[in-house]
Amino acid sequence: MRVITWLPVGGIERKILAVLPRLDRRKFRVRLVCLRERGPLADALEEMGVPVDLCPLRSRLSPSGLRNLARLMRRHGIDVVHAHMYRSNVPATIAARLARVPVVIAQVHNVNTWETRRQRWVDRFLCRWRTVAIAVSERVRQDVIRNLGMRPERVVVIRNGVHTALFADRSKRGAVRRALGLEPDDLAIIYHGRLTPHKNPQALLKIAREAGSQRSGVVVLVAGDGPLREDLEVEAKRQALMDRIVFLGRRDDIPELLQAADIAVLPSLKEGFSNALIEAMAAGLPVIATDVGGNAEAIEHGRSGLIVPPRDERALLGAVLQLVDDPMARETIGRRAAERARDFSLDKMVEEVESLYLRLAAEAGLV
């Protein structure tokens, strides 16, 4: 079976890099297409045996670009098209229709991904040409059904998976903490992810200010970059918080950084199914996360983490202080979190993707 997929940017790009080389080569011949540029991870994919094509589009509805995509699909005899996110789902669906590809999959990675009514209308119209949509959590699935009017049986959930074994090692904890300048008695609270409005990183300043003033030795580690970083650093300096919050920037050593931490927080206002959440759980950290997207589908509240309402600063701070004051709870919840994270392994995600491809191919008479 010949499968073609699309390369978005950021965390989804890295997820594709992890998944595609793991698909069974005896069953699937996978190609990847970049719609704007090859992207920084295209070379790595080719080294792992996944061919990468560049088919740039001037716009999502460019007639010449859509024709070129359709020709590429026909040239390689594609059986399954699997696109990701609105900006790829739209041209992929149209080109697949032109090329008469029998199985078309559109994947949605977050709630409320449509920026305008026009985008929602276009996506809703194109659903008739899609075999199924994949949602990364049940909340995303319900959002797709509500906004696009797809029949519930045509929207399936495949949750993101992470390479849990990469995060299980705790042997470097002491060395990493020393490298970060942490004292032995410091309690480190970590956030890792993009510094964008829907991630609500402003809450990290409030945690540093309030928890740091009420409990000695509390340090907030911020691993990530984004459009809000400069403003956050300016505000942290204005509030004299630079001894309680450390901006680490974009890091490629997240498994090691998580070893240095004692608690993880995810104060997002919007999520699909957070990779960062599962990574922190796999590292054995008790996680405090807002009840958005699939967070409550991953965390069993009070057992493998704590769930608080979004935008509720008092509840968030209360949960942080609860864990700061209770080392036994941190240890117990962290251990259960690591166990729970195994339900969201990368291997399980790959198996579910393969099973879906095979089922849809069989229904289309391909196998």
Provide the CB-side half-sphere exposure for 150 (13 A, CA): 29
The Cβ of residue 157 has, within 10 Å, a number of other Cβ atoms equal to 17
Residue indicated by tokens 């030795």: 217
Q: What is the pLDDT of residue 189?
A: 98
Task: Give yes or no on whether 2-161+346-363 and 164-344 have one common fold.
Answer: yes
Total residue count of the chain as it appears in this document: 367
Residue indicated by tokens 């003033």: 213
Q: Is the pLDDT of residue 27 over 90?
A: yes
Token pair in block for residue 162:
């992470």
φ and ψ at 131, to 5 degrees? -75, -50
Spatial CA neighbour of 317 closest among 219, 179, 208, 178: 208
Q: What is the pLDDT of residue 168?
A: 92
Architecture of the 164-344 domain: 3-Layer(aba) Sandwich (3.40)
* DSSP assignment letter at 159: -
Give the whole-angstrom CA distance, residue 244 versus residue 231: 17
pLDDT in tens, 85-118: 998 999 999 999 999 999 999 999 999 999 899 9
Top-tier CATH class for 2-161+346-363: alpha beta
CA dist list (Å): 130 to 8, 101, 190, 234:
19, 10, 40, 47
Q: What is the pLDDT of residue 9?
A: 44
Q: What is the pTM of this model?
A: 0.92
* Amino acid symbol at 200: N
Q: What is the mean pLDDT of residues 77-84?
A: 95
Domain ranges of the chain: 2-161+346-363, 164-344
Q: Provide the sign of the torsion angle of the four alpha carbons 333, 339, 343, 344, taken in this order.
A: positive
